[in-house]
Amino acid sequence: MDEEHVFAGMYYIVKGAYFLYTQCVGVPVFVTFHILLLPLRFLHPRLFWTIDAHLFKAVLGGVTSWFYTEKVVLKETGDSLKEIFHDEALLMCNHQSTSDIAVIMQSLHPKGMVTGHMTWIMDHVFRLTHFGWISRLHGDFFLKQPCSTVEERNEQIGKLREHLTSVYSKTLKKWIVLFPEGGFLCTRKPGSQRYAKKHGLPVLENVCLPRLGVAKTILDELAPNAGLSNIKQKSGKLKWVIDMTIAYPNGEAPNALFLIFSRGEYPPIHVHYRVFDINSVPSDTEGFTKWLYDRYVEKDAMLEQFYRTGNLEENAVERVEYDVTGIILYVLFYTVWMWWLCIFVYPPVLSFIGWKSIFLITVCYIFYFIYDFVKYFLFSVPPSKE
């Protein structure tokens, strides 16, 4: 076996150990902090959610470190986000693979407290994963899709409205991240194109036609002066809609694990932003539908140009700098707290509950986890139309 293969093998072992380590310290510490600080959530909610924002940003710092250590390079074009870090915004992004989530994290992590005060809208199948525990406590929203009936879709929209009222508006959240296409390009593209041909809409090759329900609900509830409901009176202060486009070299979107173990060999990923004042976005259904479809037609053309020329547009390209110091401090923070909890908190709690009970709970959870995933992927009924 030559030296290169030996080095590669050792590298994957070390990186894999770090990959697992950050999860083994990040998830328990975050969850434990939320449990220990639960009284503060009711006594001083603003302080509680401020702490949560820093803890969440630290967790995402650990995640982005997986890509920093691989020297994954992001290059930004388009509108600057520097002036809107502290404002409320809806960020909508095209969706091609699991790497999209990592790219969003990496691009926004150096931008102040944006990632700490962020709400993710994600597929409900992730709610039972270890990161799903964090997302639940942080206040992210799990969206069940596809919906097999109109009643089920309306139920999901109702739950989103309730979430915006009871969670987003009361927990210092600012940015909302949404993938309007509702799934990966490779799985959604055929259905999207059939729908476009049937209804006389543009047939897109590099993105899918966006689904409108969730985005329209967010704007209806959070856009200023959109109505008279309680939530709009209290928190109707959404100021910006950010149209984010991720472009992978040659149009080949890798999965996140590939990037995590790419050994610094993956070419730069390009990210493009367009920022719209909320008042420039139509509030009526017909106007908003046309506006959002137009954005995705533009995305499609932009990506087509990128695959031909390697450029998204003719403006300056700014490289996203690594927050190396912040990442080191975040990992160190979780390491120290994990050490402290393992000495003073976990042993007495575990001995009180009993190892047999813990084992039984774990087994039951694993079976429920498997059941939920199997039910979703094998027995969910696809919707009758897009």
Closest among 327, 264, 276 to 110, alpha carbons compared: 327
Distance CA 213, CA 154 (A): 9
- Token representation of residue 270: 């390009």
What percentage of the chain has pLDDT greater than the value 90? 63
Q: Once rounded to an integer, what is the mean pLDDT over residues 68-76?
A: 89
What average pLDDT score do residues 315-324 get? Answer: 76
With a cut of 90, say whether residue 274 has pLDDT above it: yes
Q: What tens digit of pLDDT does each residue of 185-241 get?
A: 988 999 999 999 999 999 999 999 999 999 999 999 998 865 444 444 444 589 999
Of 170, 282, 176, the C-alpha closest to 226 is 282
Q: Which amino acid is at 18?
A: Y
Residue 384's pLDDT is 38
Q: Which amino acid is at 206?
A: N
What pLDDT shows up at residue 228? 43
Can you tell me the mean pLDDT for 282-302? 95
Rounded Cα–Cα distance for residues 119 and 140 (Å)? 5
Q: Residue 84 — pLDDT band, cuts 50, 70, 90?
A: very high
Q: How many CA atoms lie within 13 A of 160 on its CB side?
A: 28
Q: Which two tokens stand for residue 213?
A: 């329900």
Listed ranges 69-73, 248-252, 289-293; the one with the highest mean pLDDT = 289-293
Query: pTM above the 0.85 mark?
Result: yes
Query: How far apart are the C-alpha atoms of 212 and 180, rounded to whole Å?
Result: 7
State the DSSP string of 50-96. Answer: HHHHHHHHHHHHHHHHHHHTTT--EEEEES--GGGTTS-EEEEE---
Whether the predicted pLDDT of 385 surpasses 80: no
Across all residues in the chain, what is the average pLDDT? 87
pLDDT tens for residues 9-48?
888 899 999 999 999 999 999 999 999 999 999 999 999 9
8 has pLDDT over 80: no
Is the preceding omega at residue 202 within 30 degrees of 0, hence cis? no
Among 6-15, 160-169, 302-311, the range scoring the smallest mean pLDDT is 6-15
For residues 326-343, average pLDDT: 92
Give the pLDDT score at 376. 58
The C-alpha atoms of residue 72 and residue 267 are separated, in whole angstroms, by: 8
88 contact partners, CB below 8 Å, separation of at least 6:
174, 175, 222, 237, 238, 239, 240
Percentage of residues of the chain with pLDDT beyond 70: 90
Question: Per-domain residue ranges for the chain?
Answer: 3-344
Task: Walk across the sheet containing 175-178 and list its strands.
Answer: 141-143, 118-123, 175-178, 89-93, 240-247, 269-277, 74-78, 318-319
- Closest by CA position to 65, among listed 334, 246, 335, 326: 326
C-alpha 98 chain-centroid distance? 10
Tell me if 269 sits within 8 A of 249, measured CB to CB: yes
* pLDDT tens, residue by residue, 109-155: 999 999 999 999 988 878 878 888 999 999 999 998 767 778 888 89
